[in-house]
Amino acid sequence: MRDLLTDEAFGEALIEARDLRIGRNGGTLLDVAHLALDGQGPTVILGPNGAGKSLLLRCLHGLIAPDRGQVRQNGALLNAAARARQAMVFQKPVLLRRSVAANLDFVLKRQKLTRSDRKARIAVLLEEGGLSGKARQPARSLSGGEAQRLAVLRALASAPDILFLDEPTSALDPAATQDIEAMVLRAARRGTRIVMVTHDIGQARRLGHDIVLMQAGQIAEHALAHDFFDSPQSQAARRFLAGALVL
Ligand SMILES: Nc1ncnc2c1ncn2[C@@H]1O[C@H](COP(=O)(O)OP(=O)(O)OP(=O)(O)O)[C@@H](O)[C@H]1O
Ligand SMILES: [Mg+2]
């Protein structure tokens, strides 16, 4: 039998996972035989609550180590240098107890920019996120939509190769959701590879180039968005798209 963990088993996909498994208390939470994310994206990971979407995203970003299996980027195991060129946005914005501008400056300082370059970059970022008037406001006093825009700006401040987002709009109203989606699409156009979790089918249709449907810790289907929505191959996808409460 071919050893799936040898180098030859991996191609040169931007992100590739093989044989990922996470178990707890005798059960299996995540069991992904193979996932290769290539092309331009965005990739949208869809699925019901508890399907393993967040676990998969955290494994792909290297935030948690699976019990078994590997994640590779461009054919190489994820290392600190590769991870430093990735960023992640969570469902609840994670912000420092500092001003809006200082939250961005914190990330920019790691890039060894001069003070005046950092200031100029912060102004551009704030403009992009519609937060220009709020530079000095404590980040923790922002509204939910503003806070998530800042979290996305902070993730983009490092100009990441890959941006992972885990349900960034699930607590936001339609207008705030639209703002975040526009920021994500702009980043994608500038060349940041997007991998985003959602359980919102409308959002997946709006953003997804390819769709990964998770069900009970496994990938039920991975297909180009138009194929996924127009002619889903798996029963899980057909049921999910039809609004079944349980797949
Ligand atoms: N540290 C852990 N210990 C035990 N079980 C866990 C742990 N982390 C996740 N799980 C379980 O793994 C399953 C998948 O969780 P995950 O957070 O990936 O789901 P999800 O698809 O992101 O769901 P949601 O849409 O609700 O965010 C869930 O049943 C969850 O309870
Ligand atoms: Mg989740």
pLDDT band at 4 (very low <50, low <70, confident <90, very high): very low
Give the mean model confidence (pLDDT) for residues 71-81. Answer: 91
DSSP 54-91: HHHHHHHTTSS--SEEEEEETTEE--HHHHHTEEEE-S
- From ligand 2's centre to the CA of 133, what distance in Å? 32
pLDDT mean across residues, the chain? 93
Q: For 133-187, what is each residue's pLDDT tens digit?
A: 999 999 999 999 999 999 999 999 999 999 999 999 999 999 999 999 999 999 9
The two tokens of residue 132 are: 């220009």
How far, in Å, is the centroid of ligand 1 from the Cα of 94?
19
Q: Is the CB of 25 under 6 A from ligand 1?
A: no
Measured in Å, residue 115 CA sits from the centre of ligand 1 at 42
CATH superfamily of 7-95+142-241: P-loop containing nucleotide triphosphate hydrolases (3.40.50.300)
Residue 64: CB atoms within 10 Å: 13
pLDDT of residue 30: 98
The residue contributing the CA closest to ligand 1 atom 26 is 49
- What was the pLDDT predicted at 9? 59
**What is the 23 CA–ligand 2 centroid distance (Å)?**
17
Mutate to test the pocket of ligand 1, among 53, 196, 212, 219 (most ligand atoms within 8 A of CB): 53
Query: Are the C-beta atoms of residues 55 and 64 closer than 8 Å to each other?
Result: yes
Task: Verify whether ligand 1 is closer than 6 Å to residue 52 (CB atom).
Answer: yes
Residues of the chain with pLDDT > 70, as a percent, come to: 96
Q: Which residue's alpha carbon is nearest to atom 8 within ligand 1?
A: 55
pLDDT category, 216, cuts 50, 70, 90? very high
Examine the pLDDT at 234 and tell me if it is beyond 60.
yes
Pick the residue with more confidence: 2 or 91? Answer: 91
Name the pLDDT band for 244 (thresholds 50, 70, 90).
confident
Q: How far apart are CA 147 and CA 155, in angstroms?
A: 12
Tell me the domain boundaries of the chain.
7-95+142-241, 96-141
Expressed in angstroms and rounded, the spacing between residue 49 Cα and the centre of ligand 1 is 8
Q: For residues 71 and 91, what is the distance between their CA atoms, to the nearest angstrom?
A: 23
Does the CB atom of residue 131 touch ligand 1 within 6 A?
no
